Amino acid sequence: MRRFSWFNATSLTIGFAFLYLPMLILVIYSFNESKLVTVWAGFSTKWYGELFRNEAFLDAAYVTLRVAIFSSLLATVLGTMAAYVLVRAGRFPGRTLFSGMIYAPLVMPEVITGLSLLLLFISLGLDRGVLTIVLAHTTFSMCFVSVVVSARLASFDQSLEEAALDLGCTPFEAFRLVTLPVIAPAVISGWLLAFTLSLDDLVIASFTSGPSATTLPIKIWSSIRLGVSPEINALSTILIAIVATGVISASLISKRAAMQRDLDSKT
């Protein structure tokens, strides 16, 4: 019997209030009529209208989406390969360096990653734009993908692959028909993580983007440095709604899947 006291209830209430109140306020005030964001002047959705008429924001959103899609797909492929190498390839020359390069970007301050990539692109004479941001985002998010996927691979029963070989698969078929379907949930969450990291990134994108490609976080950054604006509140609300819908539906799906499994195993 677990004990749940008033102390626990209070700390959870305070904690979650701290986590959620700021976002709640942001959402509420995005529907504020007034231009002065801190004064409530009645309900309105006009800032959403303003937002969708703002070409600069729409352009930035388009750039961000393109960058996120390309970099997350690349990062998923590379990260899954890297995870496979880490867990399965055994010993090879330079393995320590390899795993170091996988884990280092996770703790590397973004300012350093951004700076170093920028200096690389300049010395290569590469024009900064969508391509350079995609390269930069792929590099750091592939490391996150490989950590997520290698955790799943490590607990993956290797005899499943051996069974596939034993039943006549080539090694590639064994990966495609057995390993990949089994680790798919981890690959998908790695991909989602890479996608979100790319959507979210300000610092690395600031270093590696050029005048031709402004991402949404860069655009948001330059306007909030000037203070609170109702358009940004509206934009934030939309982003929060997207994330909340995604996360809640994902957890509902996994909960239903777990319940289904329970039911199945009882019959």
Partner 1 sequence: MKLRRLTLIGIPYFWLLALFLIPFGIVLKISLSDIALAIPPYTPTLDISGGWQAVRDFLSELDFENFEFLTTDDLYWKAYLSSLKIAAISTLLALLLGFPMAYGMAKAREDWRPTLMMLVILPFWTSFLIRVYAWVGILSTEGYLNQFLMGIGIIGDPLVILNTSTAVYIGIVYTYLPFMILPIYATLERLDESLIEAAEDLGCSRISAFWLVTVPLSKYGVIAGCFLVFIPVIGEFVIPALLGGSKTLMIGKVLWEEFFSNRDWPVASAVAIILLLVLIFPIVLFQRNEQKQREAEQ
Partner 2 sequence: MNQDTSGKEFAPWNDASEKPLITFKNVTKKFGEFVAISDLNLDIYAREFFALLGPSGCGKTTLMRMLAGFEAPTSGVIELAGQDIAAIPPNKREVNMMFQSYALFPHLNIWDNIAFGLRREKMPKDQMEARVEEMLRLTKMEKFARRKPHQVSGGQRQRVALARSLAKAPKLLLLDEPLGALDAKLRQDTQFELMDIQESTGTTFVIVTHDQEEAMTVASRVAVMDHGKLVQVDTPDVIYETPNSVYVADFIGDVNIIEGTAEANGDSVALTWTEGQPALIGSANQPIAKGASAAMAIRPEKIAISSEKPTDRTNVLQGKVLDIAYLGNISTYHVQLDNGTVIKAQIANTRRIARRNFTWEDPVWLSWTDTAGIVLAV
Binding mask 72-111 for partner 1 (x = CB under 8 A): ------xx-xx-xx---x--x-x--xx--xx-xx-xxxxx
Task: Select from partner 1, partner 2, none the partner in contact with residue 200, using the beta carbon and a kind-dependent cut-off of 5 to 8 Å.
Answer: partner 1
- Exactly one of 173, 228, 256, 258 binds partner 2 (CB under 8 A); that residue is 173
CB of 154 to partner 2, least distance (A): 16
* Contact criterion met (CB below 8 Å) for 75 and 138: yes
Residue with tokens 């600069």: 56
Torsion angles phi and psi, residue 43, rounded to 5? -75, 140
Q: Single out the residue of 12, 111, 154, 167 in contact with partner 2 (rule: CB under 8 A).
A: 167
- Which one of 24, 166, 252, 253 is in contact with partner 2 (CB under 8 A)? 166
Which residues in the 172-231 window bind partner 1 by CB under 8 A? 172, 196, 199-200, 202-203, 207, 217, 220-221, 224-225, 227-228
- Rounded least distance, CB 267 to partner 1, Å: 22
| 168 lies in the site for partner 2, by CB under 8 A | yes
How far from 244 is each of 6, 15, 22, 190, 240, CA to CA, in Å? 29, 19, 15, 18, 6
**Looking at this protein, which amino acid is placed at residue 207?**
F
Among 31, 37, 76, 198, which residue sits at the site for partner 1 (rule: CB under 8 A)? 37
The rounded distance, in Å, linking the Cα atoms of 186 and 80 is: 10
Instruction: Kindly indicate which of the ranges 118-126, 154-162, 194-202, 216-224 contains the residues binding partner 2, using the contact rule CB under 8 A.
Output: 154-162
The CA-based dihedral angle spanning residues 20, 26, 28, 32, taken in that order and rounded to the nearest 10 degrees = 170
From the list partner 1, partner 2, none, partner contacted by residue 238 (C-beta under 5 to 8 A by kind): none
Binding site for partner 2 (CB under 8 A): 157, 159-160, 162-170, 173, 177-178, 181-182, 261, 264-265, 267
